[in-house]
Structure 1
Amino acid sequence: MVKQRELKEHLYGLETILLKGEVRKSEKILNELLAEDFVEYSSTGEIYDKENILKRLPSEDDPGIIMSNFEIKYLSPTSVLTTFKVFIERKQQHSLRSSVWTYNDEKWHMTFHQGTVTD
């Protein structure tokens, strides 16, 4: 198993990639990182699956997201929970985020994501 510090750095990198405007516009990259059974509970209370995300995100403007307080917790040898805070510059809004990443086919895929507005 990968050491926790190395895995934390790797998953931090994947989460950071998903926050970048140019990546959010790339259906190809999103398709590679999101699991087929991906589900998101958005900060607005909407529920999205992978198909919704692949249609919605590429058409959105770059929200300018800054991440902080990134942590991981093993749920199993092949599943990890990531938690962090974000500040969305465009909305001037803070939120808490959590994701579940699953290791499959020698890659990590996001299977779940949730955002909760804090202000």
Structure 2
Amino acid sequence: MEHLSLKQQILDLEKQLMTYDYNELFEHLADDFFEYGSSGNIFDKNAQLDVAREDPTVTNSITYTVADFSIKLLASDVVLATYRSLRHNDNKLVLRSSIWKNTQGKWQMIFHQGTPAK
């Protein structure tokens, strides 16, 4: 089995979280996670879990395309990821940034921001 690069690992995790699967969110969002959403609202881990629990068929059916993905190592165990996402159901383009922290060998997102793009 080929060892995934750190960039590929973080990209894969970002894409997993885009599915709004409850178990993925529970595992990969840190307990103190918070987000400045592209809607202008602020979310924490519990709010994201509530969304996944409310109507998983709707959130799971939304697909995204990710472009211009890059990472920057902020510390040996902290990564900043930046990219653009295109949500297919409404063609909404969003600039995104996430901070990931590796705790006991597991990457968890501690912060995310989505900013609508033109």
Q: TM-score, normalised by structure 2?
A: 0.88
State which of 32, 37, 41 in structure 2 corresponds to 1:42.
37
- What stretches of structure 1 of length at least 5 have no aligned partner? none
Task: Determine the C-alpha separation between the residues in 2 that align with 1:29 and 1:114.
Answer: 18
Secondary structure in 1 matching 2:5: helix
Question: What is the CA-CA distance between 1:90 and the residue it aligns to?
Answer: 0.9
Identity of aligned residues (%): 35
Secondary structure in 2 matching 1:111: strand
Secondary structure in 2 matching 1:101: strand
Task: Determine the C-alpha separation between the residues in 1 that align with 2:16 and 2:44.
Answer: 19
State which of 33, 38, 49 in structure 1 corresponds to 2:28.
33
**Aligned residue for 1:14?**
13
User: Is residue 66 of structure 2 the alignment partner of residue 71 of structure 1?
Assistant: no
Question: What is the CA-CA distance between 1:16 and the residue it aligns to?
Answer: 1.4
Task: Determine the C-alpha separation between the residues in 1 that align with 2:15 and 2:44.
Answer: 20
The number of equivalent residue pairs is 112
Task: Determine the C-alpha separation between the residues in 2 that align with 1:38 and 1:107.
Answer: 15
Moved more, 71-80 or 56-65: 56-65
Task: Determine the C-alpha separation between the residues in 2 that align with 1:112 and 1:32.
Answer: 14
Task: Determine the C-alpha separation between the residues in 1 that align with 2:75 and 2:63.
Answer: 32
Question: Aligned ranges for residues 33-112 of structure 1 at < 5 Å?
Answer: 33-58=28-53, 59=55, 61=58, 62-112=61-111
Question: What is the CA-CA distance between 1:14 and the residue it aligns to?
Answer: 0.7
Question: What is the CA-CA distance between 1:9 and the residue it aligns to?
Answer: 1.0
Q: TM-score, normalised by structure 1?
A: 0.87
Root-mean-square deviation over aligned CA pairs: 1.7
Secondary structure in 2 matching 1:15: helix
Verify the 8 A CA contact 2:37 2:113 in the aligned structure 1: yes
